[in-house]
Amino acid sequence: MFPKNVLMALALACSLNFPAFAEQADREKPMNITADNCNFDQKSSKSICTSNVVVVQGSMTIRADRLVLSQDADGNQFAQGEGKPVRFKQKLDKSPDWLEAESLRFDYDSKKGFLQLFDKAWVRKGQDLVVGDHITYDLNSELYQAKSNPGGRVNITIVPKAKEASRPDGKSAP
């Protein structure tokens, strides 16, 4: 049974809408994977890469110690990664901000449109920050869910947007 304050934090975190608007053009660009070691089975469309793994697709970059990447017959991509930590960074559409994330493990399913971060996970967009033990990001609805392990806590920091300065005549400053 979870303590009441943990349940309240989970309820808040699960309802948090933290839109990212990741660079949509990145999905259409080629993916480049570099690593110290990589095995690719062309027949099963599965790669296992280890040590200093770097994945670049458009503005998106993933750095990991180990990456397993596969693709089904319909072209859906699936990836699992581990690192100390795994780092993710991607430019956001229509924004000067970048989406940055870090965790010890991740699981990506392009068919469902889910990116899950496990263990010491955090996601930052601009100055806003979500920290938890398990963060799920739905790329289709742009909704985050953050959870903590029993006895742990989710931490969410939302920085207010800067307001435009008003002139004495009530109009916004240029």
Summarize pLDDT for 37-83 with one digit per residue, the tens: 999 998 988 999 999 999 998 888 999 999 999 989 888 889 999 99
Question: First and final CA of the chain: distance in angstroms?
Answer: 54
Q: What pLDDT shows up at residue 170?
A: 58
Q: Where are the domains of the chain?
A: 4-157
Q: Are 66 and 84 in contact (CB under 8 A)?
A: no
Give the span between the Cα atoms of 131 and 2, in whole angstroms.
Answer: 19
Give the span between the Cα atoms of 20 and 68, in whole angstroms.
Answer: 25
Q: Are 123 and 141 in contact (CB under 8 A)?
A: no
Give the span between the Cα atoms of 116 and 103, in whole angstroms.
Answer: 9
**What ranges in the chain are assigned the alpha helix state H?**
4-15
Residue 33: strand pairing partners: 55
Tokens standing for residue 111:
């068919």
Q: Indicate if the alpha-carbon torsion angle 4, 8, 9, 11 is positive or negative.
A: positive
φ, ψ dihedrals at 24, nearest 5°: -65, -30
pLDDT tens column, 84-139: 999 999 887 777 888 899 999 999 888 888 889 999 999 998 889 999 999 998 87
Answer yes or no: CATH 3.30.310.10 is held by domain 4-157: no
Burial class of residue 123, CB neighbours in 10 A (0-12, 13-18, 19+): buried
pTM: 0.73
Query: What are the respective helix, strand and coil percentages of the chain, to the nearest 5?
Result: 10, 55, 35
